[in-house]
């Protein structure tokens, strides 16, 4: 029996077995604090400046040596370099040295902790996790203040890295011929380090809370990037089991990747488009490599975060044109800004609202700030000349709101026309259906747009009246609840009656228990994370439309979510046991077959 089994968040699938090697770049737990005399204040500030300077030079050097397979992630390193050169973080730390008379390490830590309060105040998980970028930049500076730099390139043998944190720059330095995988205490599902691990194809876990107390240098460990486990010093029987599972996973991956470029078509001829949800330009390679037929949801908020000013129209247009041209002729759907309330940007300050999730956000925020909105609309229109660009408005609640948004789009078109800037006047325009009010009047909204995209994450949240990140009520986040299934079907039916396409871009699109039901509803497109595409395509290709329609008829007439869950799981476990073995991140580990 293993010494211990600990759990974390799987961010890159696969299973590896090897010796643990600890890398602790931050050493924050032993940060020294001491008072500096008045005549030493300037010298301490100089030490801080030098640490920022050396960290910046180091980042530049790493960025310039980015290997080919990670070329698309160079922008992440650029953003960290920009943070290192942004005078605000260093300036705030210098203020603490001056006013508190403390050493540079402690002053920097205090400045970072102040930023943490702002980031952790966000309700949005993605935005919360962006604090990790600030943390990682500060840690790089701390290593130079403390003189604790350890170079990943010096690690020998076939090792598994254990660390409090790994930055994207650390990940760039990983030699995949010697480093089998990694696990970190910090990090979340959308961390850049996780994205890069998937690109490198090495198993990785983040957010492993007991890591540093449970594993020591030299331990034999299994990183299970499927079930999110680290097995410390497994016995012979466990080693045999994990070696067998690793082989099965590799065979499965080869099988689904080999066929991921085939269309998502059922064995009796029903075709579904499978698109990708992304927020970073550098994810485009993963979309294409995994068989994505386009981008069904490009989250545009990222260009507005981690900065103190607003992006210009030219800056946005350059990025949007790059995306449209790289993906052409594949479709790209831009979701206009989903900012406001819990996703504030510095320029507009923190809104004081009692219920931020129901406050001034998304399309409401954009209509309140028309000049900001039109800058983005003009940039998207400029990218539309490639002919593959669509635009959709988030969180539309009714006709008046939709018509006001379309009026702003018309104004943006006229402004470009007056400047002689080309754009596609027939660019498709759609809406996110994610509010119960939009579901109830879907047939009216469908007459005014070119497509619908159902955002199930928010639709479930608002329909069930729960904050899905609140552990006290998150159990009510139930995609198979009768109300949710009926809502999705009502939207699909309304779209088809109006002759427009309907897509679904929430997490439900990558849930193997839900996809056959969506097929039964004859959904036109699903949009999901790039890495989930091959597996979901394989499920679709093994499905018969007749079976999906029957499953839909069976579940839509049920009265309770418990009954539907049992019915669906019995059916899906029986039909796709191999797929479910490797969709662990969607399942409770106790539910896994085998």
Measured CA to CA, the distance from residue 98 to residue 39 in angstroms comes to: 11
192 is catalytic: yes
Per-residue b/e over 89-101, b at no fewer than 16 CB within 10 Å?
A: bbebbbebbeeeb
- In this prediction, residue 29 carries a pLDDT of 53
- Mean pLDDT lowest for which of 78-82, 194-198, 490-494, 532-536? 194-198
pLDDT tens digits for range 506-533: 888 988 899 999 999 999 999 998 888 9
Rounded mean pLDDT of 164-192?
A: 79
3-class DSSP state of 14 = coil
Q: In what order do the strands lie in the sheet with 159-163?
A: 4-7, 229-232, 220-224, 15-23, 159-163, 179-184, 204-206, 9-12
pLDDT band at 589 (very low <50, low <70, confident <90, very high): very low
pLDDT band at 309 (very low <50, low <70, confident <90, very high): confident
* Residue 189 clears pLDDT 70, i.e. is over it: no
146 CB neighbour count, 10 Å cutoff: 18
- Mean pLDDT lowest for which of 94-108, 126-140, 314-328, 535-549? 126-140
Do 186 and 168 form a contact (C-beta atoms < 8 A)?
no
Which of residues 219 and 576 earns the better pLDDT score?
Answer: 219
pLDDT tens digits for range 435-463: 999 999 999 999 999 999 999 989 999 99
- In this prediction, residue 177 carries a pLDDT of 76
Query: Going by DSSP bridges, is the β-strand pair 271-278/525-528 parallel, antiparallel, or unpaired?
Result: parallel
3-class DSSP state of 183 = strand
As a whole-number percent, the residues of the chain with pLDDT over 90 amount to 52
- In this prediction, residue 308 carries a pLDDT of 67
Say which residue the tokens 């890495």 belong to: 531
* Residue 344 clears pLDDT 80, i.e. is over it: no
* Residue 28 clears pLDDT 80, i.e. is over it: no
- Residue 265's φ and ψ, nearest 5 degrees, are -130, 135
Per-residue three-class SS string for 362-428: HHHHHHHCHHHHHHHHHHHHHHHHHCCEEEEECCCCCHHHHHHHHHHHHHHHHHHHHHCCCCCCCCC
Rounded mean pLDDT of 70-96?
A: 82
Quote the tokens at residue 128. 């919360």
pLDDT band at 482 (very low <50, low <70, confident <90, very high): very high
525 is catalytic: no
Rounded mean pLDDT of 218-234?
A: 92
As a whole-number percent, the residues of the chain with pLDDT over 70 amount to 88
pLDDT band at 590 (very low <50, low <70, confident <90, very high): very low
- In this prediction, residue 147 carries a pLDDT of 76
pLDDT band at 72 (very low <50, low <70, confident <90, very high): low
* Residue 354 clears pLDDT 60, i.e. is over it: yes
Rounded mean pLDDT of 216-220?
A: 89
- In this prediction, residue 266 carries a pLDDT of 94
Q: Which of 260, 366, 505, 525 is catalytic?
A: 505
pLDDT band at 588 (very low <50, low <70, confident <90, very high): very low
> How would you class 320 by CB atoms within 10 Å of its CB: exposed for 0-12, middle for 13-18, buried for 19 or more?
buried
Rounded mean pLDDT of 224-228?
A: 89
Q: Which of 80, 164, 192, 481 is catalytic?
A: 192
pLDDT tens digits for range 147-162: 765 566 666 677 899 9
Quote the tokens at residue 371. 């000049």
């Amino acid at each position: 029996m293993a010494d211990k089994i600990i759990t974390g968040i799987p961010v890159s699938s696969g299973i590896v077995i090897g010796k643990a090697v600890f890398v602790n770049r931050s050493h924050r737990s032993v940060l020294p604090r001491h008072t500096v005399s008045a005549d030493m204040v300037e010298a301490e500030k100089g030490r801080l400046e030098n640490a920022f300077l050396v960290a910046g030079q180091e980042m530049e050097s790493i960025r310039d040596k980015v290997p080919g397979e990670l070329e698309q992630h160079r922008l992440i390193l650029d953003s960290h370099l920009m943070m290192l050169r942004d005078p605000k973080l260093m300036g705030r730390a210098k203020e603490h040295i001056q006013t508190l008379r403390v050493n540079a390490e402690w002053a920097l830590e205090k400045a970072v902790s102040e930023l943490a309060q702002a980031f952790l105040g966000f309700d949005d998980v993605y935005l919360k996790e962006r604090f990790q970028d600030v943390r990682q930049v500060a840690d790089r500076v701390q290593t130079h203040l403390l003189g604790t730099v350890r170079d990943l390139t010096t690690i020998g043998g076939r090792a598994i890295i254990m660390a409090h944190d790994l930055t994207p720059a650390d990940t760039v330095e990983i030699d995949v011929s010697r480093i089998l995988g990694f696990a970190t205490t910090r990090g979340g599902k959308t961390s850049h380090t996780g994205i890069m691990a998937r690109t490198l194809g090495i198993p990785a876990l983040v957010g492993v809370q007991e890591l540093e107390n449970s594993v020591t240098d030299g331990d034999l460990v299994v990183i299970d990037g499927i079930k999110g486990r680290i097995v410390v010093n497994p016995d012979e029987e466990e080693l045999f089991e994990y070696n067998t599972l690793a082989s099965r996973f590799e065979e499965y991956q080869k099988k689904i990747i080999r066929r991921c470029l085939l269309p998502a078509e059922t064995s009796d001829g029903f075709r579904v488009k499978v698109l990708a949800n992304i927020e970073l330009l550098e994810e485009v390679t993963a979309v294409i490599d995994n068989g994505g037929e386009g981008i069904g949801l490009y989250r545009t908020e990222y260009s507005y975060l981690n900065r103190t000013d607003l992006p210009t129209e030219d800056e946005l247009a350059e990025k949007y044109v790059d995306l449209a041209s790289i993906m052409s002729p594949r479709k790209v759907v831009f979701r206009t800004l989903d900012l406001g309330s819990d996703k504030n940007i510095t320029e507009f300050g923190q809104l004081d609202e009692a219920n931020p999730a129901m406050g001034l956000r998304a399309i409401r925020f954009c209509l309140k700030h028309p000049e900001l909105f039109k800058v983005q609309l003009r940039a998207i229109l400029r990218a539309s000349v490639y002919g593959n660009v669509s635009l959709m408005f988030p969180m539309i609640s009714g006709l008046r709101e939709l018509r006001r948004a379309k009026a702003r789009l018309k104004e943006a078109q006229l402004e470009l026309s007056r400047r002689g800037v080309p754009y596609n006047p027939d660019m498709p325009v759609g809406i996110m259906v994610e509010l119960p009010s939009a579901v109830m009047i879907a047939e009216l909204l469908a007459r005014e747009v070119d497509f619908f995209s159902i955002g199930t994450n928010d639709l479930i949240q608002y329909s069930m009246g729960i904050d899905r990140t609140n552990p006290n009520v998150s159990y009510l986040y139930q995609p198979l609840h009768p109300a949710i299934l009926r809502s999705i079907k009502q939207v699909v039916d309304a779209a088809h009656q109006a002759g427009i396409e309907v897509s679904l871009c929430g997490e439900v699109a990558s849930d193997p228990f839900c996809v056959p039901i969506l097929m039964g509803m004859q959904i036109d497109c699903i949009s999901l994370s790039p890495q989930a595409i091959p597996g979901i395509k394989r499920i679709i290709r093994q499905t018969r439309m007749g079976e999906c329609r029957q499953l839909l008829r069976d579940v839509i007439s049920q009265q309770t979510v418990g009954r539907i869950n049992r019915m669906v799981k019995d059916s899906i476990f029986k039909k796709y046991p191999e797929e479910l073995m490797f969709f662990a991140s969607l399942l409770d580990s106790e539910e896994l077959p085998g």
